[in-house]
Copies of this chain bind each other. A is one copy, B any other.
Amino acid sequence: MSIQISKLDSSQVDFKKSLDALLAFEASTDEAIERAVAGILADVKARGDAAVLEYTNRFDRIPDGGAASMAAFDIGTAELQAALAAIPAAQRSALETAAQRIRAFHERQKQELQGFRYTEADGTVLGQVITPLDRVGIYVPGGKAAYPSSVLMNAIPAHVAGVQEIIMVVPTPDGVKNQMVLAAAAIAGVTRVITIGGAQAVGALAYGTETITPVDKIVGPGNAYVAAAKRRVFGIVGIDMIAGPSEILIICDGTTDPDWVAMDLFSQAEHDELAQSILLCPDADYIAKVEASINKLLPAMPRADVIRTSLTDRGALIKVADMAEACAIANAIAAEHLEISAEDPQRWADQIRHAGAMFLGRYSSESLGDYCCGPNHVLPTSRTARFSSPLGVYDFQKRSSLIHVSEVGAQALGKVAAELAYGEGLQAHARSAELRLK
């Protein structure tokens, strides 16, 4: 049975409406989850380790009647190194190559942001100082969705930023540890690994417990409980974006092997049923070829059911007037991943204002970027690329302003400040400036 994927045409009168309907996605709030998470967080805040221990033993079904103390959840350096030694050589080599490339790219981000300082004619010095966060928590999901690549992508930017303590939490349902995840932690510069998860792990990182020092920021993906917990502790600690379903948008000029484009659409669709894969192309014949490739290649995919549902419910093949219109639509979509599979892709990339990551040319499949090109795979989803950025070193740094006014400078600035302060009715502000006048 061939797949029923939406086909749109930008020349249709109702195209904008159809596109809006296709893109519409609102994360629902589950009140039961909200209440459960609020309770767990309050309990962890009040009872610390005892609460974390109980929830972990229960929710993760820790064997042998559960762990007796939090110490049982700490994975020492020796165990991480053992995991690295135990995984197949090809996997280890791939992880190390990926880590080295991710590190190299993120070092460039660090170089770009050095702060600045300048001195004005009257001796006043102004500037901006960049400092790393002290302590960061990395949340890594357990079970099937445990991705070693996510360990690298979340921990390496923190390590490059100069964060001194990188605490990784990863639940181990039924006590089962993922060796590739532990190996990735060994490579990525993680300081401490604790096998806890869920809202209780988020609470422990945010509030601290007897055995866990509170962190300054929590990053990394998680299920609905983890996302709800992160939202609730935001403000006490920093958090990264709460990610929505993953998306790929491919702009193709009709000259790439259609099998490649079909497989690139699959690579997003296989993540989950809500993932979104869209093709924009000015060539109707080529779109038909991609559709034929989809139907040809799908049966052999191990995750065919997920791919089929994702493409049927949320995918689309869209005929556009020309490549310029494709770029305009791409700007409206502001996709997480944007492939520009075309001759002279830079020409079209120059017209893109909003995208999490741009993959230029036929050889830049999104999957290369997901694992080992170097740029981060944690990217803004659900049109948030309009206002936010990939995860980066800058997420583990912050700026402080530096103001050193000279005695001469205080004379000129003091009069300006006093004038404005009186205008706003803030007399102590004005007097504070005036006291420095001769």
Contacts and interface: CB of A to CB of B under 8 A. Distances in A.
A185 interface: no
Copies in the complex: 2
B113 A113 contact: yes
Contact of A432 (B353, B367, B394): B367
A436 interface: yes
Given A375-B403, A404-B364, A112 B109 contact: no
Contact of A421 (B111, B367, B390, B425): B367
A94 B410 CA distance: 14
Contacts of A358: 129, 400-403
A419 B91 contact: yes
Interface string A341-360: 00001100100111111111
Interface string A370-393: 111111100110101111111010
A368 B266 contact: no
| Size band of the interface chain A makes with B | 35 or more
A263 B404 contact: no
Given A216-B387, A357-B401, A363-B407, 15 more contacts: A112-B128, A113-B113, A235-B382, A238-B388, A263-B431, A267-B428, A363-B436, A364-B403, A365-B410, A365-B435, A370-B429, A373-B405, A373-B413, A379-B401, A390-B400
Interface of A: 27, 90-91, 93-95, 97-98, 105, 108-109, 111-116, 118, 124-126, 128-129, 131, 133-134, 144, 147-149, 180, 216-217, 235, 237-238, 242, 257, 259-260, 263-264, 266-267, 269-271, 301-303, 307, 345-346, 349, 352-376, 379-380, 382, 384-390, 392, 394, 398-407, 409-410, 413-417, 419-421, 423-433, 435-436
